Amino acid sequence: MKNRLSLSHADITPRQLFDQRRRLLKMAAGASLAAWWPATLLAAEKLAFSTSSAYGLSDEPTPYKAVTGYNNFYEFGTGKEDPARNAHSLRTRPWTVSVEGEVHKPKTFDIDQLLKLAPLEERIYRLRCVEAWSMVIPWIGYPLAELLKQVEPTGKAKFVEFVSLHDTQQMPGQRSSVLDWPYREGLRLDEAMHPLALLTFGLYGELLPNQNGAPVRMVIPWKYGFKSAKAIVKIRLTEHMPVTSWMRAGPDEYGFYANVNPEVDHPRWSQAKERRIGDFLKRPTLMFNGYAEQVAGLYAGMDLRRYF
């Protein structure tokens, strides 16, 4: 595996962080939910993490404003700007994630427990949406493998299913049946154990903003963005391949693997190129989103047109 130096944290505009904190505070103070907005969240909004990650990119990170203002998170609406507008209704504390299924030690983790389970690292990853736009985001988290090791998968465990929160009160987009709620995603166990697969709690040095999947989400940088489940409440290890929300919504268009692949088009649009947010010209999409060196081995011998 090739290691690259990550961007130093100083390269990331501190001004934006500052502005965002002000915005968050203002939002918390101004919104009617201020009453039950937990003080701990505000206190813990900065995360302690190491920057000496082995995984990183030399690409310029996408501005904070775009990362947090342009999101697909249908639980808060199907427009790109809906999540930033609507996600304030999500309560991220208290929060628990149960890890169950084919494991020897099923357990329900509190979010604070999860945050302390392994050292947090910053990793600058490419994010490629199936809609052919992309970003570069400094995420903070640790490999999902760290969590899975704790629960000791049984010999039968072949897949990992992620289930997101289902609560129409907190997630107004779920009042529409645009997808089959709760949102479900899945990985093969070896994909889930891959060191690039990141259990993620933050971005740009702070806790995940709600619209980015707070309080805990997956980031799987070699797959299309929708594979990375947000606001996860359950992680289930299974013997059989789970049916994901997008497979249910359009089995011909969204496969289980959803690996970024410029050679396999979405039935309705090309995947050969992408527009990096902020760029004028499109750029060619890289195989496995540029992570082929690290992950191609997972799919050796597989027909990626069939297993799309």
Q: Which is nearer to other proteins, 67 or 187 (CB)?
A: 67
Characterize 239-278 residue by residue with b for buried, 16 or more Cβ atoms within 10 angstroms of its Cβ, and e for exposed. eeebebbbbeeeeeebbbbbbbbbebebeeeebeebebbe
Q: Which is nearer to other proteins, 38 or 278 (CB)?
A: 278
CB of 155 to other proteins, least distance (A): 37
CB of 285 to other proteins, least distance (A): 12
Contacts (Cβ under 8 Å, ≥6 apart) of 284: 262, 272, 273, 274
Residues forming the site for other proteins (CB under 8 A): 65-66, 69-70, 74, 78, 80-81, 130-131, 133, 176, 178-179, 249-250, 265, 268-270, 272-273, 275, 277-278, 280-282
Is the torsion defined by CA of 279, 283, 285, 290 positive or negative? negative
CB of 229 to other proteins, least distance (A): 16
Q: Which is nearer to other proteins, 145 or 178 (CB)?
A: 178
* DSSP-assigned beta bridge partners for residue 107: 99
Q: Which is nearer to other proteins, 49 or 73 (CB)?
A: 73
Distance CA 124, CA 22 (A): 24
CB of 133 to other proteins, least distance (A): 6
Residue pair 44/95 in contact (Cβ under 8 Å)? The answer is no
Contacts (Cβ under 8 Å, ≥6 apart) of 52: 6, 121
> How far is C-alpha 133 from the chain's CA centre?
16
CB of 20 to other proteins, least distance (A): 15
SS3 breakdown of the chain: % helix, strand, coil, rounded to 5?
30, 25, 45
Q: Which is nearer to other proteins, 79 or 195 (CB)?
A: 79
Q: Which is nearer to other proteins, 75 or 102 (CB)?
A: 75
Q: Residue 76 has which token pair?
A: 């808060």
CB of 245 to other proteins, least distance (A): 10
